[in-house]
Structure 1
Amino acid sequence: MLTSILPFLKDYWAFVLSLLILLFLLRNKYFNGLHKYPGPALAAYTNWWRFFDALNRRPEKTHIELHKQHGDIVRLGPNVLSFADPKTIKEIYGLNKGFTKSEFYPVQSAISPRGKPLPSLFSTIDEKRHAQYRRCVNSVFSMTSLIHYEPLVDSTTRVFLSQTEKLFSATGESCNFARWLQYYAFDVIGEITWGRRVGFLEGNEDVGGIVEFVADFLAYVGPVGQMPILDSFLNKNVLKLKSLEWGLRKEKLTTATKFAVDRASERVDEMQTIKEKGLEAVPTRSGSIDFLSKFTQAQHDHPEFMTDDLVLTSCLSMIFAGSETTAISLSAIFYYLIKNPRVYAKLMTELDNAVESGAIIDRSLVTWAESQKLPYLDAVIQEAFRMHPAPGLIMERTVPDHGAEILGEMIPGGTIVGCNAWVLHRRAEIFGDDADVFRPERWIEASPGKLKEMKATMFQFGAGARTCIGKNVSLLEIYKVVPAILGTFEIVPEQEGKEWTTHNAWFVRQLDFRVKFRRRSDQGKKKAA
Structure 2
Amino acid sequence: MASALDNGARKFIPSTQLHSHCGFNMIADIILSILLAYWPLVLAAFLGLYLLRNKYHHGLDKYPGPTYAAFTDWWRYFDVRSRRAEQTHIQLHRRYGDVVRLGPNVLSFADPKAIKIIYGLNKQMTKSDFYPVQQAVAKGQRLQSLFSTKDENYHASYRRCVNNAFSMSSLIGYEPLVDSTMGAFIEQTKRRYCDTGKSCHFSKWLQYFAFDVIGELTWSKRLGFVERDEDVDGIVGFVGKFLDYCAPVGQMPILDMIFEKNPIKLKLQKWGISKTVFPVTRFALAQSADRASEMEKIKQNGSLNEASGKGVDLLMKFTQAQHDHPEFMTDKQVLSSCTSMIFAGSETTAISLSSIFYFLIKNPRVYSKLMVELDEAARDGSIAERDHNRVSWSESLKLPYLDAVVQEAMRLHPAPGLILERVVPPQGMDILGHQIPGGTIVGCNPWVVHRHPEVFGADPDTFRPERWIQAKPDQLREMKASMLQFGAGARTCIGKNISLLEIYKLVPTFLRNFEVDMADPVSEWKTHNAWFVRQLNFTTRFKPRQSIQSPER
TM over 0.5: yes
Aligned-residue offset at 1:238: 2.0
Aligned-residue offset at 1:254: 2.0
Structure 2 Cα separation of the partners of residues 279 and 500 of structure 1: 48
Bigger mean CA deviation after superposition, 223-232 or 275-284: 275-284
Verify the 8 A CA contact 2:514 2:543 in the aligned structure 1. Answer: yes
Matched letter for residue 296 of structure 2: Q
Which residue of 334, 353, 356 corresponds with 1:330?
A: 353
1:348 has 2:348 as partner: no
1:264 has 2:282 as partner: no
Q: Identify the residue that residue 380 of structure 1 maps to in structure 2.
A: 405
Structure 1 Cα separation of the partners of residues 513 and 124 of structure 2: 49
Matches within 5 A, 1:103-502: 103-113=129-139, 115-245=140-270, 247=271, 249-283=273-307, 285-286=309-310, 288-362=311-385, 364-502=389-527
Structure 2 Cα separation of the partners of residues 515 and 237 of structure 1: 44
Verify the 8 A CA contact 1:47 1:226 in the aligned structure 2. Answer: yes
Deviations 1:84-129 (A, max 9, x none): 011100110000011100000000011120x221111100000000
Structure 2 Cα separation of the partners of residues 248 and 207 of structure 1: 26
Matched letter for residue 340 of structure 2: S
Matched letter for residue 232 of structure 2: V
SS in 2 for 1:504: strand
SS in 1 for 2:32: helix
Deviations 1:417-445 (A, max 9, x none): 00000000001111111111000001000
Structure 1 Cα separation of the partners of residues 222 and 545 of structure 2: 27
1:21 has 2:39 as partner: no
User: How many equivalent pairs are there?
Assistant: 521
SS in 2 for 1:521: coil
Bigger mean CA deviation after superposition, 270-279 or 390-399: 270-279
Matched letter for residue 325 of structure 2: H
Verify the 8 A CA contact 1:273 1:281 in the aligned structure 2. Answer: no
Bigger mean CA deviation after superposition, 514-523 or 435-444: 514-523
Matched letter for residue 149 of structure 1: Y
Deviations 1:146-176 (A, max 9, x none): 1110000000000000000000000000000
SS in 2 for 1:516: strand
Verify the 8 A CA contact 2:379 2:548 in the aligned structure 1. Answer: no
Matched letter for residue 385 of structure 2: D
Sequence identity, in percent? 62
Matched letter for residue 289 of structure 1: V
Structure 2 Cα separation of the partners of residues 86 and 481 of structure 1: 30
Verify the 8 A CA contact 2:375 2:548 in the aligned structure 1. Answer: no
Deviations 1:387-438 (A, max 9, x none): 1000000000000000010110100000000000000000111111111100
Matched letter for residue 311 of structure 1: V
Structure 1 Cα separation of the partners of residues 198 and 411 of structure 2: 31
Structure 2 Cα separation of the partners of residues 10 and 491 of structure 1: 70
SS in 2 for 1:492: strand
Structure 2 Cα separation of the partners of residues 241 and 31 of structure 1: 34
Verify the 8 A CA contact 1:279 1:293 in the aligned structure 2. Answer: no
Aligned-residue offset at 1:523: 12
Verify the 8 A CA contact 1:89 1:419 in the aligned structure 2. Answer: yes
Structure 2 CA distance for partners of 1:65 and 1:254, relative to 1, 3 Å: same
Deviations 1:71-91 (A, max 9, x none): 000000000000001110011
SS in 1 for 2:129: coil
Aligned-residue offset at 1:239: 1.5
Aligned-residue offset at 1:3: 2.5
Aligned-residue offset at 1:281: 4.8
Structure 2 Cα separation of the partners of residues 284 and 489 of structure 1: 36
1:45 has 2:71 as partner: yes
Structure 2 Cα separation of the partners of residues 172 and 87 of structure 1: 48
TM-score scaled to structure 1, two decimals? 0.97
Verify the 8 A CA contact 1:83 1:417 in the aligned structure 2. Answer: yes
Structure 2 Cα separation of the partners of residues 212 and 362 of structure 1: 38
Verify the 8 A CA contact 2:393 2:504 in the aligned structure 1. Answer: yes
Which residue of 83, 98, 110 corresponds with 1:72?
A: 98
Matched letter for residue 17 of structure 1: L
Give the alignment's Cα RMSD to 1 decimal: 1.3
Structure 2 CA distance for partners of 1:359 and 1:98, relative to 1, 3 Å: same
Bigger mean CA deviation after superposition, 479-488 or 136-145: 136-145
Structure 2 Cα separation of the partners of residues 278 and 317 of structure 1: 23
Deviations 1:463-498 (A, max 9, x none): 000000100000000000100000000001101121
SS in 2 for 1:82: strand
Matched letter for residue 23 of structure 1: L
Verify the 8 A CA contact 1:494 1:516 in the aligned structure 2. Answer: yes
Deviations 1:211-254 (A, max 9, x none): 00000000001000000000011111121012233x15142322
Aligned-residue offset at 1:284: 5.7
Verify the 8 A CA contact 2:423 2:440 in the aligned structure 1. Answer: yes
Q: Identify the residue that residue 7 of structure 1 maps to in structure 2.
A: 33
SS in 2 for 1:233: helix
Structure 1 Cα separation of the partners of residues 210 and 248 of structure 2: 25
Q: Which runs of 4+ in 1 moved over 4 A?
A: none
TM-score scaled to structure 2, two decimals? 0.93
Verify the 8 A CA contact 1:93 1:463 in the aligned structure 2. Answer: yes
Verify the 8 A CA contact 2:378 2:548 in the aligned structure 1. Answer: no
Aligned-residue offset at 1:4: 3.0
Bigger mean CA deviation after superposition, 142-151 or 277-286: 277-286
Verify the 8 A CA contact 2:212 2:225 in the aligned structure 1. Answer: yes
